[in-house]
């Protein structure tokens, strides 16, 4: 798990606990970047209006952040999160 410094963590503990159970588990492949870290990166980019390539390294590789958004969109994960 990557540790995010104060100010880089966009989700409160309570917010994270609400959405954590809706995220897919058990993906195989290369080292899995922590979902909370990636979601914080997504929120950061949306708030900053930045390109994926400009994602700060603290949130993981920008390709991972982009791929997670893309895959979760196809799988309907975001719809489930936003309808909480």
Domain boundaries, the chain: 6-17+33-84
Q: Report the C-alpha gap between 26 and 19 in whole angstroms.
A: 16
Residues in the chain predicted with pLDDT less than 70, given as ranges, are: 1-7, 28-31
**Predicted pLDDT of residue 45:** 93
The pLDDT assigned to 33 comes to 85
| Helix, strand, coil percentages in the chain from 3-state DSSP, rounded to 5 | 55, 0, 45
Instruction: Supply the pTM of this predicted model.
Output: 0.81
pLDDT of 1: 46
């Amino acid at each position: 798990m990557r540790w995010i410094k104060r100010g880089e963590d966009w989700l409160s503990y309570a917010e994270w606990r609400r959405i954590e159970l809706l995220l897919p588990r058990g993906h195989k492949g290369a080292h899995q970047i922590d979902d909370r870290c990636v979601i914080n990166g997504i929120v950061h980019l949306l708030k900053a209006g930045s390109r994926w390539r400009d994602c700060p390294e603290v949130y993981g590789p920008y390709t991972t952040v982009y791929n997670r958004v893309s895959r979760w969109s196809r799988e309907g994960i975001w719809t489930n999160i936003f309808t909480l």
